[in-house]
Structure 1
Amino acid sequence: MTTITFVRHGITDHNIENRAQGHTQNPLNATGRAQAGLVAKRLAKESWDVFISSDLRRAKETAEIISAEIGKPVDFYDERLREMDRGMIADTIEEERVQRWGEKWHELDMKQETHESMRARGLHFMEDIAARFPGQKILVVTHGYFLGQTLKELMGDETTGEKMRNTSVTTVYLDSSKWCYSLYDCIRHLEEAKDPVL
């Protein structure tokens, strides 16, 4: 059975500030590194055939921490796993956007990636990886909004994929030609920690 386990990267200062990240190369913060360490220990209890990560810094750092714990290098970095491209608003918060472009900035063309484009590349990734690694257990480090949109498209369900939490674990498996969940947005590795790093 082909299974793909997604891990959202650890938290960043941009997450806390609600600053648009997109394709920016911002790093994990101290809490994010601690979160990655906890999810790494959890993932080390299982064996993995293939390990893939987004090439953006916050995902790469998360993947490197996991790699050291599970004893398996990242097999390859895949640009299809990148977060939504935020275009001109990348690295800004709402207040800055209003100052630059006015309160109706969202009505302007900010060169952001469309949901349709993001979902299409997410689905393409899933179809490609399932075809290349049939019957294998695949670990993937990616980004919250991209993952949520991919899951909506994959499952044909607009109620899923909402607000995926940092270092949450979501596993899907291929049953005949249909993808199903076996785990969704699970953060028990954070909840079980003596000093929670939520």
Structure 2
Amino acid sequence: MRIGLIRHGKTDWNALGKIQGQTDTSLNDEGIRQANALAVRLSQDSIKWDMVISSDLKRAYETARIIAAELQIPLLPGEPKLRERFFGLIEGTTEEERLARWGADWRKSDSGQESDETVRERALSFVQAMAMQHPHLNILMVTHGSLLAQLLKGMCPGIEDKPIVNLSYSIMQLEADKWTPLLHNCTRHLEELQQQGY
């Protein structure tokens, strides 16, 4: 079994540096172009994907819908367990606002945000359930940056810890109850988009 892990395309809040969390924002024009670029890449890939599932938040579901349409594969209903971390009072704030209110350690502040452990546990539980239900399928999952960072750590504890950028693409393979990264945080399709002047 292989799982392709994708972060949703760019939104206006991403462009402004605002934390979105579970606030339900939509893709902007750049995010739509990014999703289309990855969809084309996936259509030319040697791996054949069987289905797409995403978070039930609009920015992830819109990304997944574009990919499913290009690949002509089923798009499953949005999944709440794949939602971004709940950031509490931090949602909707810019970096400047976060530093002013909570300081440089705002990620550790008591602002009502979901813990790393809780995010990792709910994401891993969903991936494990999918692996049990569909052991012979290749599944694309479109979700969010903070959740993906925790999920990847849970699937493969030694994986390189680097920021998960919009429309990054990772592939994890399950063999003998162990996940192995075949691709991690790849943005080649976005680099090609930049070369085309977008």
TM over 0.5: yes
The 1:121/1:103 distance shift into structure 2, 3 A limit, reads same
Q: Structure 1 counterpart of 2:190, which letter? A: L
Please state how far the C-alpha of 1:123 moved relative to its aligned partner: 1.3
The number of residue pairs the alignment matches comes to 194
The 1:108/1:180 distance shift into structure 2, 3 A limit, reads closer
TM-score normalised by structure 2 residue count: 0.89
SS state at 1:77 partner: coil
Moved more, 179-188 or 43-52: 43-52
Partner of 1:138: 139
Partner of 1:164: 164
The answer as to 2:34 corresponding to 1:49 is no
Cα pair 2:156 2:181 within 8 Å, conserved: no
**1:27-62 C-alpha deviation (Å, 9 max, x unpaired):** 111111100010011112353222111111110111
Please state how far the C-alpha of 1:102 moved relative to its aligned partner: 5.9
Cα pair 1:148 1:160 within 8 Å, conserved: no
What do you get for the CA RMSD once the two structures are aligned?
A: 2.0
Partner of 1:20: 19
Please state how far the C-alpha of 1:81 moved relative to its aligned partner: 0.8
Partner of 2:95: 94
The answer as to 2:113 corresponding to 1:112 is yes
Partner of 2:10: 11
Q: Structure 2 counterpart of 1:21, which letter? A: Q
Partner of 2:149: 148
**1:119-153 C-alpha deviation (Å, 9 max, x unpaired):** 11121112111001002111111111110111112
Cα separation, 1, equivalents of 2:157 and 2:39: 30
Cα separation, 2, equivalents of 1:52 and 1:131: 16
Q: Structure 1 counterpart of 2:85, which letter? A: M
Cα pair 1:190 1:196 within 8 Å, conserved: no
Cα pair 2:22 2:85 within 8 Å, conserved: yes
Moved more, 49-58 or 187-196: 187-196
Aligned identity (percent) is 40
Residue correspondence of structure 1 range 61-76 to structure 2 within 5 A: 61-76=62-77
Cα pair 2:51 2:74 within 8 Å, conserved: no
TM-score normalised by structure 1 residue count: 0.89
Q: Structure 2: which 5+ runs fail to align?
A: none
The 1:102/1:161 distance shift into structure 2, 3 A limit, reads closer
